[in-house]
Structure 1
Amino acid sequence: MELVKTSDLKKYYRTGEVCVKALDHVNLSVEEGEFIAVVGPSGCGKTTLLNMLGGLDNPTDGTVLIHGKDITKMKSEELTIYRRKHIGFVFQNYNLLQTLNVKSNILLPLYLGNSKIDEAYFEEIVEILGIKNKLKNLPNTLSGGQQQRVAIARAMITKPDIVLADEPTGNLDSESSEEVLRLLRESGERYNQTIIMITHSREIAETASRIIRMRDGKIV
């Protein structure tokens, strides 16, 4: 079943008299449960596309449908609520709050959404990710791989339909990278989540079920 669909998605930036086409007529269809890798050179529009799919930025033109709803037409408050419920984000630099321990970082999306904590689900996630014994730790006491696992747990805690991952292995060594990828795949399969991941690595991209290549703001 189709989960995500973009139609003629465009994002233009103007720098002085120069118009930069970050996204240029992007048409994309993503099915439920797919694990997609988005690849391409720096500046080709990968992160811009991810930001549009997650409602973090507004397109110049075009639509982004999730569950058949155009998130580009949603009002700010409605979009925030929708995003917290249906979309999880994993960032390259983790974006963990250094003043909160691991458990609080993971549960933060639920706190922000005033949502009830599913304790059994929480226990399952931290067990799968191997961070059950780190819940009282502050992020700066963890390795890069451990911090990324916390970021993945935070992305999963709301049981989102979509997980958007921007270079989730970019700051990790090869062993930690393989582990993070395995965890993303397993969580996607276990919870029928759609994973859309940006990567510069051909080897990492080949672990996905589908590869989307971008160049100059277009899917090629």
Structure 2
Amino acid sequence: MDSVIVKIRGLKKYYGTKDTLVRALDGIDLDIEKGTFTAIVGASGSGKSTLLHMIGGLDTPTEGSVIVSGRNLSQLSGGQQQRVAIARALCVKPSILLCDEPTGNLDTRTSQDVLGLLKACHVRFHQTMIMITHNEEIAQLSDRILHIEDGRLVRRKWGEPCL
């Protein structure tokens, strides 16, 4: 049994190009043992948050690999990454769920599953949910639909498409 829960090899994250290139992470190799408490310390801009986002699957590396519980995060599809992010957000039962196009990259079946899960959490745990969507059918699942145009909330007649 492997006691390493997080294995990072050759991890690089670069932003910008040539003259403006920022090397947020530049070749990190790291093992984190299961059950340990690891603190990552550094000055502002040192790459701490970027590293944490990589471990959490919230960002993708420019190069290298992040393996968590034997699973290479870079090999997850966009839909799988989205489901992991949703599960991670729901497991702490926050009082407010902010959902930005939660089904945007998902197939129809998975979209229905995700929407069912979000709605069930909203009802069961009395969570406030604010969801951004272009899809009027998905918007119809809500208690209230607001429309925004040119940075302003506007009134619309019921049934007009949400653009």
Bin of the TM-score, shorter chain as denominator length: 0.5 to 0.7
Residue in structure 1 matching 2:35, options 33, 41, 47: 33
Paired-residue identity, %: 37
Q: Residue 114 of structure 1 corresponds to which residue in structure 2? A: 117
Q: Does 1:20 align with 2:22?
A: yes
User: Match for 2:28: what amino acid?
Assistant: V
Distance in 2 (alpha carbons) for counterparts of 1:74 and 1:137: 29
Are 2:58 and 2:85, in contact at CA under 8 Å, matched by a contact in 1? no
Change (3 A) 1:57 1:113: farther
Q: Residue 6 of structure 1 corresponds to which residue in structure 2? A: 8
Runs of 5+ in structure 1 lacking a partner?
90-101, 123-134, 139-220
TM-score for the superposition, normalised by structure 1? 0.40
Distance in 2 (alpha carbons) for counterparts of 1:75 and 1:83: 12
Which protein has greater RCO, CA pairs closer than 8 Å, 6+ apart? Answer: 1
1:78 Cα deviation after fit: 1.2
1:37 Cα deviation after fit: 1.3
Name the SS for the 2:79 alignment partner. helix
Change (3 A) 1:45 1:70: same
1:83 Cα deviation after fit: 3.8
The C-alpha deviation readout for 1:74-99, integer Å capped at 9, x for no partner, is: 111012223444x469xxxxxxxxxx
Trace 1:1-220 onto structure 2 (pairs within 5 A): 1-15=3-17, 17-85=19-87, 87=88, 104-105=95-96, 114=117
Name the SS for the 2:30 alignment partner. strand
Distance in 2 (alpha carbons) for counterparts of 1:53 and 1:103: 21
Distance in 1 (alpha carbons) for counterparts of 2:94 and 2:41: 33
Are 1:10 and 1:23, in contact at CA under 8 Å, matched by a contact in 2? yes
Q: Give the aligned length.
A: 108
The C-alpha deviation readout for 1:29-70, integer Å capped at 9, x for no partner, is: 112222221110111100111111111111100001011111
More helix by share: 1
Change (3 A) 1:88 1:38: farther
Change (3 A) 1:37 1:136: same
Distance in 1 (alpha carbons) for counterparts of 2:73 and 2:94: 30
Larger Rg: 2
Are 2:95 and 2:127, in contact at CA under 8 Å, matched by a contact in 1? no
Name the SS for the 2:117 alignment partner. coil
Are 1:81 and 1:113, in contact at CA under 8 Å, matched by a contact in 2? no
